[in-house]
């Protein structure tokens, strides 16, 4: 991957709806090499997919919660069971297995506190192997981006 690829990727991260012509104009190339480079980056898996980013509040999901989850034990079976269960929960938008004082960090997006309470009680806390859940409610979002530094 060269500097031109990085420029293209940077532009696409800002706006995936840029046309080949718009990208070409911004980086002083013609459309054909821009098209070829993007197709190559897609084929190589550098570009995984194109998505639409929604405004959480405008679609009715204004509460963001981070959960620290501790499991009863860190065996393959318990971890795999937790992983599989969390993947089925649409409220969980991110889940990472982490090092430190707990096992998983989850980002949950829901409409309100009542919905979160039901999610916590009826979905998350009943997953086999869950020992402890600490919840942290986002009061204001200082920075949120999907752009990866390149």
Question: Which pLDDT belongs to residue 143?
Answer: 96
**CA distances to 87, 102, 110, 125, 139 from 96, in Å:** 11, 11, 19, 17, 22
Question: Which pLDDT belongs to residue 30?
Answer: 97
Question: Which pLDDT belongs to residue 79?
Answer: 98
> Three-class SS of residue 122?
helix
Quick check: 102 and 69 in contact, CB under 8 A? yes
pTM exceeding the 0.75 threshold for the entire prediction: yes
- Please report the domains of the chain, with CATH numbers, ordered by start residue: 3-43 (1.10.10.10), 57-137 (3.30.70.920)
Of 64, 79, 145, 71, nearest to 109 (Cα)?
A: 64
Name the band, by pLDDT with cuts 50, 70 and 90, for residue 48.
very high
Task: Take residue 117 and report the two structure tokens written for it.
Answer: 């309470």
90-121 burial, b for 16+ CB within 10 Å, e for fewer? Answer: ebbeebeeeeeebbbbbebbbeeeeebeebbe
CA dihedral angle for residue 19, residue 25, residue 28, residue 32, rounded to 10 degrees = 40
DSSP code, position 103: S
What is the layout of strands, in order, in the sheet containing 104-110? 92-97, 104-110, 63-71, 130-137
Name the band, by pLDDT with cuts 50, 70 and 90, for residue 93.
very high
| For residues 124-146, average pLDDT | 97
Q: Calculate what percentage of the chain has a pLDDT beyond 70.
A: 100
Question: Which pLDDT belongs to residue 96?
Answer: 99
Burial class (CB in 10 A: 0-12, 13-18, 19+), 33: middle
| For residues 106-127, average pLDDT | 98
């Amino acid at each position: 991957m060269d500097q031109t690829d990085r420029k293209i990727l940077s532009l696409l991260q800002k706006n995936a709806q840029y046309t080949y012509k718009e990208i070409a104009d911004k980086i002083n190339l013609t459309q054909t090499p821009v098209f070829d480079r993007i197709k190559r980056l897609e084929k190589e898996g550098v570009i995984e997919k194109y998505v639409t980013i929604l405004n959480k509040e405008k679609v009715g999901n204004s509460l963001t919660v981070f959960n620290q989850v501790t499991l009863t034990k860190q065996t393959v079976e318990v971890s795999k069971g937790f992983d599989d269960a969390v993947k089925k929960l649409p409220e969980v938008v991110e889940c990472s297995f982490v090092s430190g004082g707990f096992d998983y960090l989850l980002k949950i997006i829901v409409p309100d506190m009542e919905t979160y309470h039901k999610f916590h009680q009826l979905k998350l806390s009943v997953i086999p192997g869950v020992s402890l859940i600490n919840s942290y409610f986002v009061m204001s979002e200082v920075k949120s981006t999907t752009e990866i530094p390149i």
